[in-house]
C-alpha cells in the first residue's frame, strides 16, 4: 500500500508540474490573445478601407499554430471568400525554394559557392561589363575584374541588368528577352550570357535574374530538368502539393484573383487570363525566381522546415549548417550600393533571403528580430522565419503595385508590437 501511495503521489506531482509548465509555456508565447486581436484589427482594417480585396495570415510559434485568419475575398466580384486553401501566386517567394534546391547539391559537394559560374556553364565565360555610352550612344564595354561566382548568384551581386532605364544596355536586354515564357532554361542562360553585366561582379546588390540562373545551374549540375529536381528534392518530401508552376483546371476555382490598387480605397481586378497566364498554361520556362503558386499551409511547411534547421516532420531537406549558412549575411560592407534592399530594414542578404542584422533604428523602419530571415513577392505576399522566438509567419494577398499601403510594416508591428527606443520601458 505504501508503494502504491507513493506512486500515486508521484503521478499527482508530475501531472501538476506538467500542467504548470504547459501553462507557463502558453503564457510565454509572444503571439497571445492580445496580439491575435491586434493582428485581426490590422488586417481587417485594410479590407474595410477598400485597399485590399482579401488577405490571410498563418503564424506558428514553438510548433504551435498561434494565429490564422482570413478577411475579405479571394475573388471580390464573385464573392469567393479568402480562405486557408486559397491558391495564390507567390512570385519571388519562389526564390528561397530554388535556393534550397541548389543547396542540396552544395551538400553533395557538387560545387563550392566561390566557384566561377563558368566552370559549370561556359555560357557565362569572359563576361564584359557595361561602362556607359559614347558620344554616339553606343555602349562601352570593359573586361570583368573577376568571374561571376555562384555566391554572386545567391546574393544578387552578379551584375545582371534588370532595369529599363540603363542607356544602351536596357535596349540589349529587351532585344534578348531572357524572361520570355516561350524559352527553356538553357536558352534563357544563353541569352543572359550574351548581355553585358551592368556592374563589376560582387560590387553592388541589384535584383535581377540571378535566381533564374540558379535554377538553370541546378539543371546543369544535376542533369535533370529543374522542375523535376525541385519536385523530387524539396516539394515532394515536404508534401507541398499546391506549390507548382501549372495549376490544373480542377484547382483553378481556388486561385485568388489579382488586384491593382489605383488610389486610396480603389481596386480594380485584373483579368484572370492576364493575371494567371503563367500558371494556367504550361510554358517551356521554369524560372527559379518566380512562377510558383502556393497555399498558406504549403508555404508554412517550407518555413517550418527552415526554423527546424532543415528538417520537418521526420524529413530532412537540408543540414542544419546549410540553413545556418543560408540565413547568414553574405554581403560585405564594401557593397554599399544596395538598390531598394534597405527599405526592408537594417538587413543584409544571405542565400536567397534577406537577413536582419540590427534592430529597427526608428518607428518608421520595418520591424523585426535580429537573426530573422525572410522574403516577399511582387503581389505583396510575405514570409519570415524568426529563429529567436521560433516563429514562422506567412501573409498572403494578391495586390499590385507591391505594398504601397505598408501592409508588411503594419502586420509586423501587430505581431511584435510597435517600435520601442533602446533602453525604454
> What is the residue-wise DSSP string for 96-126?
HHHHHHHHHHHHTTS--TTSBGGGT-GGGTT
Q: Which residue from 368, 347, 359 is spatially nearest to 422, judged by alpha carbons?
A: 359
Beta bridge partners, 54, equal 72
Assign residue 368 a region (left: φ > 0; alpha: ψ between -120 and 50; beta: otherwise).
Answer: left
239 domain residue, yes or no: yes
Q: Read off the pLDDT of residues 284-297 as tens digits, 9 standing for 90 and up.
A: 999 999 999 999 99
Sign of CA dihedral 125, 126, 131, 135: negative
Say yes or no: 345 and 286 in one domain: yes
Q: Check if the beta carbon of residue 66 is closer than 8 Å to that of residue 235.
A: no
> With bands split at pLDDT 50, 70 and 90, how would you rate the model's confidence at 298?
very high
For the entire predicted model, the pTM comes to 0.93
Contact 243, 27 (CB under 8 A): no
Percent pLDDT > 90 in the chain is: 91
**Rounded CA gap, 410 and 405, in Å?**
9
- CATH number of the domain residue 264 falls in: 3.40.710.10
The mean per-residue pLDDT over the stretch 139-156 comes to 98
In the structure, what pLDDT confidence band is assigned to residue 162 with cuts at 50, 70 and 90? very high
Residues 261 and 381 in one domain: yes
On whether residue 92 sits in a domain, the answer given is yes
Looking at the structure, do residues 285 and 193 belong to the same domain, yes or no?
Answer: no
Cis omega before residue 401 (within 30°)? yes
Q: In this prediction, what percent of the chain has a pLDDT beyond 70?
A: 93
* pLDDT in the model for residue 18: 41
Domain shared by 117 and 248, yes or no: no
Cell matching residue 239: 508534401
- Residue 104's pLDDT band, with cuts at 50, 70 and 90, is very high
Cβ atoms of residues 226 and 211 within 8 Å: no
Match 532605364 to its residue by C-alpha cell: 165
Identify the three-state secondary structure at position 192: helix
- pLDDT at position 422 is 67
* 221 domain residue, yes or no: no
Q: Could you report the per-residue pLDDT of 18-54, keeping only the tens digit for each?
A: 433 444 444 589 999 999 999 999 999 999 999 999 9
Strands 64-75 and 80-81: antiparallel
Q: What DSSP letter does each residue of 20-60 carry, written as one string?
A: HHHHHHHHH-SS-HHHHHHHHHHHHHHHHTTS-SEEEEEEE
Residue 149 contacts residue 113 (beta carbons within 8 Å): yes
Residue 3 in domain: no
Specify if 397 maps to a domain: yes
| Domain identity same for 262 and 306 | yes
Flag whether 167 is in a domain: yes
Which of 158, 176, 209 is the last residue before a domain boundary?
A: 209
Beta strands 399-400 and 259-263 are parallel
CB of 197 within 8 A of CB of 128? Answer: yes
349 in the same domain as 380: yes
Closest CA to 105 of 155, 150, 156: 150
Picking from 209, 244, 262, the residue at the C-terminal end of a domain is: 209
Specify whether 301 is located in the same domain as 406.
yes
| SS3 state at 366 | coil
183, three cell numbers = 524559352
Q: Are residues 164 and 80 in the same domain?
A: no
Residues 93 and 121 both lie in one domain: no
Q: What is the residue range of 173's domain?
A: 113-209
Three cell numbers, residue 260:
491593382
Torsion, Cα 324 330 332 336, to 10 degrees, reads: -130
- Where is the domain boundary, 178, 209, 240? 209
Query: How many Å apart are CA 67 and CA 394, to the nearest integer?
Result: 10
Same domain for 326 and 408, yes or no, is yes
- Whether residue 269 sits in one domain with residue 170: no
Q: Do residue 378 and residue 246 come from a single domain?
A: yes
Residue 9 lies in a domain: no
Q: Is residue 394 part of a domain?
A: yes
Count of domains forming the chain? 2
Amino acid at each position: 500500500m505504501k508503494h502504491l501511495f507513493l506512486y500515486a503521489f508521484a503521478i499527482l506531482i508530475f501531472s501538476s508540474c506538467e500542467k504548470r509548465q504547459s501553462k507557463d509555456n502558453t503564457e510565454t508565447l509572444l503571439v497571445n490573445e492580445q496580439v491575435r486581436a491586434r493582428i485581426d484589427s490590422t488586417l481587417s482594417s485594410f479590407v474595410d478601407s477598400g485597399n485590399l480585396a482579401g488577405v490571410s495570415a498563418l503564424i506558428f510559434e514553438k510548433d504551435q499554430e498561434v494565429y490564422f485568419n482570413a478577411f475579405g475575398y479571394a475573388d471580390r466580384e464573385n464573392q469567393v471568400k479568402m480562405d486557408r486553401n486559397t491558391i495564390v501566386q507567390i512570385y519571388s517567394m519562389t526564390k528561397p525554394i530554388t535556393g534550397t534546391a541548389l543547396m542540396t547539391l552544395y551538400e553533395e559537394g557538387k560545387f563550392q559557392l566561390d566557384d566561377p559560374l563558368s566552370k559549370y556553364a561556359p555560357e557565362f565565360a569572359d563576361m564584359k561589363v557595361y561602362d556607359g555610352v559614347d558620344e554616339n550612344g553606343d555602349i562601352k564595354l570593359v573586361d570583368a575584374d573577376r568571374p561571376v561566382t555562384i555566391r554572386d548568384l545567391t546574393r544578387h551581386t552578379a551584375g545582371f541588368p534588370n532595369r529599363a532605364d540603363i542607356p544602351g544596355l536596357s535596349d540589349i536586354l529587351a532585344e534578348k528577352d531572357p524572361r520570355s515564357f516561350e524559352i527553356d532554361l538553357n536558352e534563357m542562360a544563353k541569352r543572359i550570357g550574351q548581355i553585358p553585366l551592368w556592374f563589376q561582379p560582387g560590387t553592388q546588390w541589384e535584383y535581377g535574374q540571378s535566381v533564374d540562373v540558379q535554377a538553370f545551374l541546378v539543371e546543369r549540375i544535376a542533369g535533370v530538368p529543374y522542375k523535376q529536381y525541385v519536385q523530387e528534392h524539396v516539394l515532394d518530401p515536404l508534401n507541398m502539393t499546391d506549390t507548382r508552376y501549372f495549376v490544373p483546371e480542377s484547382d483553378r476555382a481556388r486561385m485568388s484573383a489579382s488586384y491593382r490598387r489605383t488610389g486610396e480605397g480603389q481596386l480594380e481586378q485584373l483579368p484572370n487570363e492576364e493575371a494567371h497566364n503563367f500558371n494556367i498554361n504550361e510554358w517551356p520556362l521554369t524560372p527559379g525566381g518566380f512562377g510558383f503558386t502556393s497555399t498558406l499551409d504549403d508555404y508554412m511547411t517550407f518555413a517550418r522546415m527552415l526554423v527546424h534547421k532543415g528538417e520537418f516532420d521526420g524529413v530532412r531537406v537540408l543540414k542544419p549548417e546549410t540553413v545556418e549558412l543560408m540565413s547568414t549575411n553574405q554581403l560585405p560592407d564594401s557593397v554599399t550600393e544596395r538598390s531598394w534592399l534597405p527599405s526592408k530594414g537594417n538587413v543584409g542578404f544571405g542565400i536567397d533571403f534577406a537577413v536582419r542584422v540590427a534592430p529597427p533604428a526608428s518607428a518608421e523602419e520595418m520591424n523585426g528580430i535580429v537573426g530573422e530571415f525572410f522574403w516577399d513577392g511582387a503581389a505583396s505576399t510575405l514570409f519570415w522565419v524568426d529563429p529567436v522566438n521560433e516563429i514562422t509567419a506567412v501573409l498572403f494577398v494578391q495586390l499590385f503595385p507591391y505594398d504601397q499601403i505598408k501592409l508588411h510594416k503594419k502586420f509586423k508591428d501587430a505581431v511584435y508590437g510597435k517600435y520601442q527606443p533602446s533602453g525604454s520601458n
